[in-house]
Amino acid sequence: MAEVSAPTGFAPAVLAPDVWREREARHIARADTLTAEHRARAARGEKHPVWDFLFTYYSYKPSVLRRWHPGAGVALADAGERTGWRGYRAGDEPGSAVVDTEGLEGARPHLHGLIDAILRRTASRPAQFGCFGLHEWAMVYRQGTHRHPQPLRLGQEGTDAVVEAHELRCTHFDAFRFFTPDAVPRNRRALSRDEQVAHEQPGCLHAGMDVYKWAIKLGPLVPGELLLDAFELARDIRLLDMQASPYDLRDHGFDPVAIETPEGKAEYVRRQRVFAERGDALRRAILTAWQGESDR
């Protein structure tokens, strides 16, 4: 886990120019490494069935990842230029800048309240490990046209048979909303946006990927190192999400996790447990950096 900044409510730590500029440089180099292949593909006009999701569904450009912030409660010495950045104000020391926590939270109280509730309540719940990634299968169930151009590994009939042999246990509304009409009533419960906070749980792959989204939305309140940790988690989860999907991605170098078999289910759950732990550690780290504690 990356180093986190001093939390809100504490006397601001002041980072000397050589310290914070070195952290900023390391952050930029790390961000550039993480996005290099995507930027190269984009320059060539190439699409990728797995990795583009990190920049299309999560519609944030690589440039957003490059911008380093120290997080809430940390002042930057000799950083007067940042007082003109969104989310910053002048610090107590001449020429310093600090993230304007009160201004950011006051401008979007509903959003910050939602993020707090989702991070906090998700981390407080036990993880569930019985979904086996079937949300992706439910998105193509009995459907002639699909969201991705890649072929179905088992064909349409074989894919439908896998869905019909299992109980759908999706807990994430932003996956559920893409279910085909025939798949919707097969889910254990109907999900809605209004009840999203009530159902999020750390075993869900998409809830883990969304930690990146929440970190982005918090902007300067989150230390840049944690933002990149969240992006790396989303990247790693995305790989399993698509390996366990009904699509055949072997031409792209991705072996399937055949969740229709006992062996595939076991591999899925093994990796799912690791992601649940990483996701909860990041949720708590973000809350600590932002607010000073994680279980208020």
Q: Is residue 185 one of the residues assigned to a domain?
A: no
Q: Is residue 170 one of the residues assigned to a domain?
A: no
Cβ neighbours, 10 Å, residue 135: 26
Q: Looking at residue 293, what is its pLDDT?
A: 56
The 10s digit of each residue's pLDDT in 65-107 is 999 999 998 999 999 889 989 999 999 999 999 999 999 999 9
- Per-residue pLDDT, averaged over 110-129, amounts to 96
Instruction: Answer whether residue 5 shows pLDDT above 60.
Output: no
Q: What integer best gives the mean pLDDT of the chain?
A: 93
More confident residue, 48 or 296: 48
The 10s digit of each residue's pLDDT in 23-75 is 999 999 999 999 999 999 999 999 999 999 999 999 899 999 999 999 998 99
Q: Is residue 65 one of the residues assigned to a domain?
A: yes
Identify the H or E element spanning 77: none
Considering its fold, how many domains does the chain have in total? Answer: 1
Instruction: Answer whether residue 16 shows pLDDT above 80.
Output: yes
Q: What is the 3-state secondary structure (H, E, C) of 11-44?
A: CCEEECHHHHHHHHHHHHHHHHHHHHHHHHHHHH
- Per-residue pLDDT, averaged over 8-25, amounts to 81
Q: Is residue 32 one of the residues assigned to a domain?
A: no
The 10s digit of each residue's pLDDT in 198-214 is 999 999 999 999 999 99
- pLDDT band for 148, please (50, 70, 90 cuts): confident
Q: How far is CA 241 from CA 136, 272, 295, in A?
A: 8, 10, 29
Q: Looking at residue 12, what is its pLDDT?
A: 59
**What does the CA dihedral 61, 171, 117, 34 come to, rounded to 10 degrees?**
-20
Share of the chain above pLDDT 90, in %: 88
Q: Looking at residue 208, what is its pLDDT?
A: 98
Instruction: Please report which residue ranges of the chain form alpha helices under DSSP H.
Output: 17-44, 53-56, 62-66, 101-107, 109-124, 135-138, 155-164, 173-176, 196-199, 205-218, 224-243, 262-291
Instruction: Answer whether residue 295 shows pLDDT above 70.
Output: no
Instruction: Answer whether residue 9 shows pLDDT above 60.
Output: no
Q: Is residue 100 one of the residues assigned to a domain?
A: no
- pLDDT band for 149, please (50, 70, 90 cuts): confident
Q: What are the beta bridge partners of residue 20?
A: none
The 10s digit of each residue's pLDDT in 219-278 is 999 999 999 999 999 999 999 999 999 999 999 999 999 999 999 999 999 999 999 999
Domain that holds residue 245: 50-69+109-131+193-291
Instruction: Answer whether residue 4 shows pLDDT above 50.
Output: no
Enter the pTM of the model.
0.93
Share of the chain above pLDDT 70, in %: 95
Q: Is residue 122 one of the residues assigned to a domain?
A: yes
Q: Is residue 236 one of the residues assigned to a domain?
A: yes
Instruction: Answer whether residue 150 shows pLDDT above 80.
Output: yes
User: Cα-flanking dihedrals φ and ψ of residue 75, to 5°?
Assistant: -95, 145
Q: Is residue 278 one of the residues assigned to a domain?
A: yes
